[in-house]
Structure formats: structure tokens, C-alpha cells
Amino acid sequence: MNECQLNTFLTIVKYKSYSKAAEVLDVTQPTVTSRIKALEEILQCQLFKRIGHEIYLTEEGNLFIEYAKNILLYINHSKEIPNMVKDPIIKVGFSPGYSHSFIVELLKTIKSIGDIDVQVIEGYDSVSLNERALSGEVDLIFTRNALSNNQDITSEYLFENNLVVVMPKEHALCQKQSLGVKDLSGETIISYRRNSTLWNLIDKQLNGAQNITRMDVDNNEMLLNAVANEIGIGIIPKLGVDRRYEEEVEVREIDEIYNIPNHVYVQFRNNSRIESLAKKIIYSIINHKYTEA
């Protein structure tokens, strides 16, 4: 049993076609057939059956899917052995919305540990980051959603990264002692990746505001820049407010928005090298969170 056979099996499962699998894998169809036959001989069972022109999984084939995925995952992890005996290398992923100052604290912590190569990755969203952690692409991630029932990943809840409203310092609403969603009526609301699950929850609360104008920007930095330049009012997680803008924007809480759940989970792969580094990084993140508070 080898990588080629397992990848070929999973590609056929995905496309339900030997010919399409051959095209995707850039091999001939006889090669695909040969790999599956060899795999079936090892497993001593039939993985696919034909009914007319259609390909279907057998009961054994259906059961084998998760085994194939897990075997490939372990194969990919084992390829990291040469790197594990060298200087430590860690890939850290964040879901969108963390400020530059927050990331800088992380980098300072890693630098203080010494002799560590690090790659910081901003994922498109929590779901995609979780998938990358499962596949072994990243070592440690900070996301909204916990990975449950996975023996290869440790998942720990850290805290809430509550949502806040950021406004230009001279905005009229800054004069009000308390704000509600209705106070946002008639305003331009700036979002960051509005098609995310988190923004779906925010939009439900914004139904209480009338005649608002929408503006969606590409990243957290652009949102803060737009607010500082009095283009509109932004809604972002509290840890997304960068210290560099503290003289240009005012941060306020609106209960309906602030109370939307926005959990921060830290998740890392279970090996001694990553666990030791993860604990130091987690301490830095928690310290930054409560220092800012």
C-alpha cells in the first residue's frame, strides 16, 4: 500500500470516474486501474463496482475512505521527521481580524525563545484553518471553532474576542454615553469579509438599524484606515484594534453586537516539540489580551 494507490482511490471517490481520476492525476487510465487492483489485492476486498456506466463504492470501499485519509495524514506527518531533528520550525495560523500589534507580540515571544523559524499565516476563515491543521499544513492555530474528537489535535478554549464598534474620534456618536444598534441608522458600516459566518450573526443584529450603507473591505488594516479617514463606522473583534490607531479612532461597545459569541480556541498538533512552543505562545497571547484590556 502506497501514497499513489491511496491518492488514486480518494480521487476516484471524489470524481466517481476512473477516466476523470486519470486526468486529474496526470496518468493513464490503465495506471489508475492497476493501482486500484493492487490496493484491492492488499485489502482482499473489492473497493468499487460498476452498474452500467456508473462507478459506485462497495460497502468495504466506503469504510476504507477514512482509513485512506488517515494513512495519508500520517505519511505526511512522517515526512517532517528530518525537520524535527533540525532547528525548530513552527507554522502559526490566525483567523482574520487580529491587529498588527497582536501579531507583533506573538513574534516577540517566538524570538525570545530563540532558534525558531516561524511562518505566520492568516487563514481565509476558521473553517479553512482547521482543515489546514488537520492536514498537517500548520502546527498551531487560533480560530473561532474547536476541532473536537481528534486524537492528533489538542484544542483549548482561551477567551472571548468580543466585537466592538470603531468610530472616527470626531464622530457625533462619540458624544453619547451609551450606544444601541438603532444609533447606527443612516451610517456607513464597514465590514471585513462580510460573507463569513461571524458576519452573518452581526447582520442579524444590524436589522435594528435603518438606512445603513454597506462597505466591505479586503482586510482589517484597510477597515481601520477607512474609519480613521472618517469614511464610516467599523465592526471588528476587539483584538483587531491596532494600537497605532488609538489616537484616530474610538472603540465603543454595543451590547447586541458585543454579546455575539466570538470564541478564541488555540489548537495544536500533539507532539512534544509543538506542545512546548505552543504553551509559551499561548501565554504571550493571553498576556497581550489582558494587558490591552
Cα atoms in the Cβ-side hemisphere of radius 13 Å centred on 6 = 16
Query: What pLDDT shows up at residue 270?
Result: 79
The pLDDT assigned to 114 comes to 65
Q: To 5 degrees, how large is the angle CA 174–CA 179–CA 184? A: 85
Phi, psi of 148 (to 5 degrees): -105, 155
Can you give the pLDDT at residue 189? 95
Q: What is the pLDDT along the chain (293 residues), one digit of tens a residue?
A: 888 999 999 999 999 999 999 999 999 999 999 999 999 999 999 999 988 888 899 999 899 999 999 898 888 877 766 655 555 577 888 877 777 777 777 777 767 766 667 778 877 777 888 888 888 888 888 888 887 777 888 888 888 889 999 999 999 999 998 999 999 999 999 998 788 888 889 999 999 899 999 999 888 889 999 999 999 999 998 888 888 888 899 999 999 999 999 888 888 887 777 777 777 777 777 776 666 55
What's the confidence (pLDDT) of residue 194? 81
Q: Which CATH number fits the domain 86-159+262-292, given the four candidates 3.40.50.720, 3.40.190.10, 2.30.42.10, 1.10.10.10?
A: 3.40.190.10
Question: What pLDDT, on a 0 to 100 scale, did the predictor assign at position 168?
Answer: 95
Residue 278: the pLDDT is 76
Q: What is the pLDDT of residue 83?
A: 57
> Which of the listed CATH numbers 3.40.50.1100, 1.10.10.10, 3.40.30.10, 3.40.50.2300 matches domain 3-78?
1.10.10.10
pTM: 0.60
How confident is the model at residue 165, as a pLDDT?
94
Max Cα separation, the chain?
76
pLDDT at position 203 is 92
* Domain at 163-258, CATH from 3.40.190.10, 3.90.650.10, 3.40.50.300, 1.10.10.1110: 3.40.190.10
Dihedral pair phi/psi, residue 55, rounded to 5°: -105, 130
Domains 3-78 and 86-159+262-292 in one fold? no
Question: Where are the chain's structural domains?
Answer: 3-78, 86-159+262-292, 163-258
pLDDT at 1: 81
